[in-house]
Amino acid sequence: MRKIELSYTLTPPSSERSPHPALLRNPMMDVLHAVRSSGSISGAARELGLSYRHVWGQLKDWEAGLGQQLIFWERGQAARLTPFGERLLMAERLAQARLGPQMESLRAELERAFSMVFDEGRHGSPGGVLTLYASHDHALTELQRYADKATENRHPAPPLHMDIRFCGSVDAIRALNEGRCELAGFHTQPFAAAGSLSARAYRPLLKPGLHKIIGFARRSQGLMVAPDNPLRLREVGDVARLQARFVNRAIGTGTRLLLDELLAQAGLLPQDIVGYTHVESSHAAVAHAVASGTADVGLGTEYAARAQGLGFVPLTQERYLLVCLKSALEQPAVQQLLQRLRSRTWHDHLNSLPGYATDHCGEVAAMKRLLPWWD
């Protein structure tokens, strides 16, 4: 079995984050991905900003070290990955997709540890820290990066470090109630009624007078399908009727609740869905399963589908919300977060993300205002 060693690099605050989808970088996987997307070694070299000779030499060295051919070396033909090369790349991308939330949390924790040292040098004291348990969401990761900026509207401000631990929506609110965090992030459907699965899952965990809801975003959830939607799937009823291979999310996640809600509305049972028990750990992992052909369809966010180049069939615009104890609202770190959430710069950025829109962003509200099933 091949051994894995992890490493990281420190970059200046002004540097742009790599557009490459991987959170952990590996030179061989980067090259294989570039060859696959460009169809040539020269194209891969241009994409990576390397010389042809360097990429060619690296590929030969890796093949010798692995004892396996990675590229079909045919003169005059477009460069193609061998079946082994394809399997290697797909296995690595699947692992990245499955571990994405944990790796993002690890990256953020390292950034926070170093930022506190640098911030103390610049401001005389480290910035605030806010612990948040939340359902995995790309916009939340973007907010984490935005909140950590020390400058807002050209006025120096202490950074806010959001220590995010990704888990299911239900588990996130439980963590808040058990005192393990200051904030929780969860999502719910606007069509959910008072007797819905969502209401029955969340209502026992939330108490008026004890909790306060903070508006954050609306995001589009729907069916992630192969490009051009070859099965012509339009709703969960089509998934059952055509026996399309489905990939699900784990129990306790908001997306699993959404699926069960949709099935109940369609008069369907879990056993009507082929692959209901096939579970992946994140929206990105579900999208990867569809992109790799191991599943025909999964339920997830538009952002995750677009990031994988998949087709997307919107089913609902759901609310992603934050919740905290009423007593935490006056904490300096929470006040800093509310300021960030209400800023025009953040609103513009959030609205630019595929499938996202601001929704009462930064507004502190009572339950019944933002939770449709609360009466």
Q: What is the pLDDT of residues 102-124, one digit of tens each?
A: 777 677 667 666 666 665 555 44
Who has greater pLDDT, 204 or 122? 204
| pLDDT tier, 76 (very low <50, low <70, confident <90, very high otherwise) | low
Assess whether pLDDT exceeds 90 at residue 269.
yes
The pTM score is 0.74
Domains, the chain, ordered by start: 27-81 (1.10.10.10), 127-152+159-370 (3.40.190.290)
Who has greater pLDDT, 179 or 198? 179
Assess whether pLDDT exceeds 80 at residue 132.
yes
Among the ranges given (101-110, 134-143, 241-250), the one the predictor scored with the smallest mean pLDDT? 101-110
CB-based burial, 20-38: b 16+ in 10 Å, e otherwise: eebbbeeebbbbbbbbeeb
| pLDDT tier, 266 (very low <50, low <70, confident <90, very high otherwise) | very high
For 18, counting Cβ atoms within 10 Å of its Cβ (0-12 exposed, 13-18 middle, 19+ buried), the class is exposed
Give me the residue label for tokens 């959430």: 341
Mean pLDDT of 140-156: 72
For 215, counting Cβ atoms within 10 Å of its Cβ (0-12 exposed, 13-18 middle, 19+ buried), the class is buried
Distances (CA, A) of 325 to 210, 212, 213: 6, 6, 9
* pLDDT tens digits, 320-354: 999 999 999 999 999 999 999 999 999 999 999 99
Assess whether pLDDT exceeds 90 at residue 279.
yes
Who has greater pLDDT, 99 or 27? 27
Question: Tokens at residue 192, please?
Answer: 């959910």
How many CA atoms are closer than 13 Å to the CA of 225, on its beta-carbon side? 20
Who has greater pLDDT, 363 or 87? 363
Distances (CA, A) of 21 to 193, 269, 364: 38, 36, 34
| pLDDT tier, 309 (very low <50, low <70, confident <90, very high otherwise) | very high
Share of the chain above pLDDT 70, in %: 87
**Mean pLDDT across the chain:** 86
Assess whether pLDDT exceeds 70 at residue 157.
no
| pLDDT tier, 152 (very low <50, low <70, confident <90, very high otherwise) | very low
CA distance 50 to 305: 30
Out of 73-77, 122-126, 193-197, give the one with best mean pLDDT: 193-197
Mean pLDDT of 77-90: 86
Mean pLDDT of 91-112: 74
* Residue 212: its H or E element: strand 211-225
